[in-house]
A and B are shown apart, each in its own frame.
Chain A
Amino acid sequence: MTTLSQSPLLECREIGKRFGGEVALEGVDFTLLPGEVHGLVGSNGAGKSTLMKILAGALPEHAGTVCLDGRPIDLSSPQSALRHGIAMVYQELSGIGQLSVAENLFLGRQPTTRFGRIDWWAMRKRASEQLAELEIEVDVERRLASYPLVIRQMVEIARGLHSGARVLILDEPTSALSPPETRRLFELIRRMRERGVAVIFISHFIEDVLAICDRVTILRGGRCVDTRDTKEVDKHFVIHAMLGHALDTREVGYETGASLPVRSAAPPLLSAAGLSLPRAFEAIDLAVAAGECVGIYGFVGSGHQELVHCLAGALRPATGQITVEGQSLVLGSTHVAVQRGVALVASDRGQTLVHDAEIYKNVTLAHLKQSVGNWLARGRETAIATQLLERVGCRPVAPLLRVRNLSGGNQQKVVLAKWLLAPVRVLLLDEPTRGMDVGAKEEIMKLVAEQKRAGAAVVLASSEPEVVLAHADRILVMSRGRVTREFAGVTVDKTMLMRFA
């Protein structure tokens, strides 16, 4: 079905893109045949999303040319991409939940009557017809928000198709879907293929890519490594191609593997039993001893981040129990968790810091009573904050400065400083170093290691295998809301982690 003799529908030649000094893409060639489902894989930062943003017209300034039907096209805006028939379905859906399915399907191009009014009757009829044609069974008059994610995605895809798309880009479409939902989505993708629509399928889930795609292109470090027929390759091959073997990464040593110590026999300080949160994870059991760091690895959307937030009381799990030092926590209460010495460091500082407030106010917020007492005096507070800022190495040590003026790494140090005002029993980390430079990463993780040595139970959730390999004593791999594998007392490497994700 996909022979090279076919003339390509879409052809990218020598695509390059830089952000500041960073190379995001360099000399990428990519061809898409008509009626083909083409997988695009690569680890974080390989350039998948940059390439797709260029195709969707969101990054007009780039090197190289994009041709459609052999003619170069202009992709200076999302509108021009749509005009050429390139439609993108984002991971965060753009449909409007408050509107009906039919209204979403015809968003921006509603059929009108002679007098310019929206022709509701025609819109509903055509919406039902179009969806029935694709075997999507929904009531077009119901609000889109009342349907599960998979239906919303399918409506979005149908919208792309009926607005004349010849190239559909799906960004991580299966990451939040259950297996039966994924199968439904795949059926729709196959029907699109039969209609001659070309689909670019971006995913971290290699099995999904191999199951639905005809060909797969592997990106690594902004370059195109390989394009293969999916029949010729297996998951192992793809993972190896994604990671490469002679990587010049700075976290050397973890490419070949990390040897984990034998699991400690100490009684657990933090334990969780039967935790479930709908649409995130199910039936998770976890036990972490004092002085132990458990890494939880999974792709974005596999539930590990939500799990950490549940442990901190930031999210309320539907079922389950969490105990710290033998006493159970009130689910969904950050207040109780903080009183028991549970500290959360999230990737998003917008969630953990008051950006418009002074640094010292952020530092003392969690333990105001213990550190400052009942009467707040600025002098005493800034003195306490200064001491802590020096301890965590925040630069500059200026407690009166507003948090928004700090760099990301220094903001994260303020978050850590906040917790150091009282003994930390459980330290929960959710992608604590995302988006930071190597130096800041190291400093943050050094502070974490200090707390671990002091006897804290540490949980480190990350979608970057390097991070868990470098810092965890024991590693759990999560996939689609379940723990698929636990590694302890063995030597593991990235490939092994990714195989179970």
Chain B
Amino acid sequence: MAVPPSQNRSLARRLFGRWEASDVAPLVSLAVLVVFFALVAPGFLKPATVVQVLKQGSVLAIVSVGLTFVLLCAEIDLAVGMLALWTACLCGFLFQRPFAAGPSGAGAAPAWAVVVAIAVPLATSLLLGLTSGLLTVWSRLPSFIISLAMMNIADGMSRWLTKSENLNVPSILKTIGNRGIEITNRFELSYSALLAAAVFIVGHVVLQHTRFGRYVYMTGGNREAARLAGVRTGRIVVACLAISAVTAGLGGLVNAGRLNSVSLDQNADLLLSAVACVVLGGTSLFGGSGGMGRTAVGVITFSVLKVGLNQIAWIDDLARPLLMGLVLMVALVVNGLLSKNK
């Protein structure tokens, strides 16, 4: 039982806080991957790779922020992928109504119509998240079951609404998804990455510096203890699932923008990728430990893996998903083992 005496903390400790194996493990995994790809893929250590990682990772990052809240309070939200799809579909649907597209269907949409086409879908996603949360708390069923049903509902609503058509989305989403601020002529900081960073920072501040954030951790750490201390743990769970639904919706909008339209094949693997990112960063699936910094590391690791594998030219395209899965499994197991040996 090592007791850190608070009076003689070293400077390093004061700057970085207390580091444990579980904090370092995800960073080590990331470093190993970077070194590996630098050796194997000649073009890897170039600004273009960073641009790509940031762009590819941003949708995942936005969704992972909400999912981190859910996992921290020891619940799960399986609906994130389909909520992302639903939000984007509704956005596309609204955007093609006459109020936005004009009577001929080709006019420039007025600004208020764009706002409606983005805000209303996000609000419906929030509503669906609240529904999942309230049902989870009220029925005392695991959120696994409730959000599984919600996943199917969101998927079904998307199909019914779009009739399997490709739908156009507002140009502002396309700009966010594809453009950025040019910093040098070879390095462009994409708007989607900036948006993801903003969502991350908000998430981090809420978790670390608000009472709500503390209650999320304590509810996940020991729900009964939190309840006995007067925390209304039911509300915390509902709020986490609602947050997760909103970030999922936002991620879906950005993804549709990146792909210039919305179609039913989008976001199919978003859920599992986001769970992998959060857990890869070292946030526990059982609640109470983890945080936004870790999720950020997880998202970057995941994106580096994806981009890096694509840069190795001699791998058969059809073998890439298999390799992705294998490397992911190794990384998860190694991180998991390292963080257990505290």
Binding site for B on A (CB under 8 A): 312, 314, 334-335, 337-339, 344, 346, 350-357, 361-362, 365-366, 368-369, 372, 374-377, 382, 386, 396, 398-401, 405, 418
- A338→B229 contact, CB < 8 A: yes
- A374→B228 contact, CB < 8 A: no
B1 contacts partner chain A, Cβ-Cβ < 8 Å = yes
Contact flag A354-B230 (CB < 8 Å), given A376-B209, A396-B3, A401-B3: no
Considering only residues 147-174 of chain B, those with a C-beta below 8 Å from chain A are none
In the complex, what distance in Å separates the CA atom of A314 from the CA atom of B228? Answer: 6
Chain A residues lying within 8 Å of B203, measured Cβ to Cβ, are none
Chain A residues lying within 8 Å of B4, measured Cβ to Cβ, are 398, 400-401
Q: List 14 A-B contacts (CB under 8 A).
A: A314-B227, A314-B228, A335-B231, A338-B229, A339-B230, A351-B228, A356-B221, A357-B221, A357-B222, A361-B218, A366-B229, A376-B208, A376-B214, A399-B6
In the complex, what distance in Å separates the CA atom of A334 from the CA atom of B18? Answer: 34
Considering only residues 203-247 of chain B, those with a C-beta below 8 Å from chain A are 208-211, 213-214, 217-218, 221-222, 224-232
- B211→A368 contact, CB < 8 A: yes
Chain B residues lying within 8 Å of A405, measured Cβ to Cβ, are 1
Chain A residues lying within 8 Å of B213, measured Cβ to Cβ, are 376
In the complex, what distance in Å separates the CA atom of A398 from the CA atom of B217? Answer: 20
Total B residues in contact with A, Cβ cutoff 8 Å: 27
Kindly provide the distance from the CB of A371 to the nearest chain B CB, expressed in whole angstroms: 11
In the complex, what distance in Å separates the CA atom of A374 from the CA atom of B209? Answer: 8
Binding site for A on B (CB under 8 A): 1, 3-6, 18, 208-211, 213-214, 217-218, 221-222, 224-232, 288-289
Contact flag A398-B226 (CB < 8 Å), given A361-B214, A376-B211: no
Chain A residues lying within 8 Å of B230, measured Cβ to Cβ, are 334-335, 337-339, 366
Task: Count A-B contacts at CB 8 Å.
Answer: 85
Residue among A334, A365, A400 with the highest chain B CB neighbour number at 10 A: A365
Task: Report which of B18, B208, B225 forms a contact with A354, defined as CB distance below 8 A.
Answer: B225
In the complex, what distance in Å separates the CA atom of A354 from the CA atom of B218? Answer: 7
Chain A residues lying within 8 Å of B224, measured Cβ to Cβ, are 351
Task: Report which of A355, A366, A377 forms a contact with B222, defined as CB distance below 8 A.
Answer: A355
With A312-B228, A356-B221, A365-B214 given, can you name 19 additional A-B contacts, CB distance below 8 Å? A335-B232, A338-B230, A346-B228, A350-B222, A352-B228, A353-B222, A354-B218, A356-B288, A357-B218, A361-B217, A365-B226, A366-B230, A376-B211, A398-B3, A398-B5, A400-B4, A401-B4, A405-B1, A418-B229
Chain A residues lying within 8 Å of B225, measured Cβ to Cβ, are 350-354, 362, 365
Kindly provide the distance from the CB of B1 to the nearest chain A CB, expressed in whole angstroms: 5
Kindly provide the distance from the CB of A400 to the nearest chain B CB, expressed in whole angstroms: 6
In the complex, what distance in Å separates the CA atom of A32 from the CA atom of B334? Answer: 56
Chain B residues lying within 8 Å of A418, measured Cβ to Cβ, are 229
In the complex, what distance in Å separates the CA atom of A398 from the CA atom of B2? Answer: 11
In the complex, what distance in Å separates the CA atom of A366 from the CA atom of B215? Answer: 10
Chain B residues lying within 8 Å of A354, measured Cβ to Cβ, are 218, 221-222, 225-226, 288
Residue of B whose beta carbon sits closest to that of A407: B1
Contact flag A369-B211 (CB < 8 Å), given A334-B228, A354-B226: yes
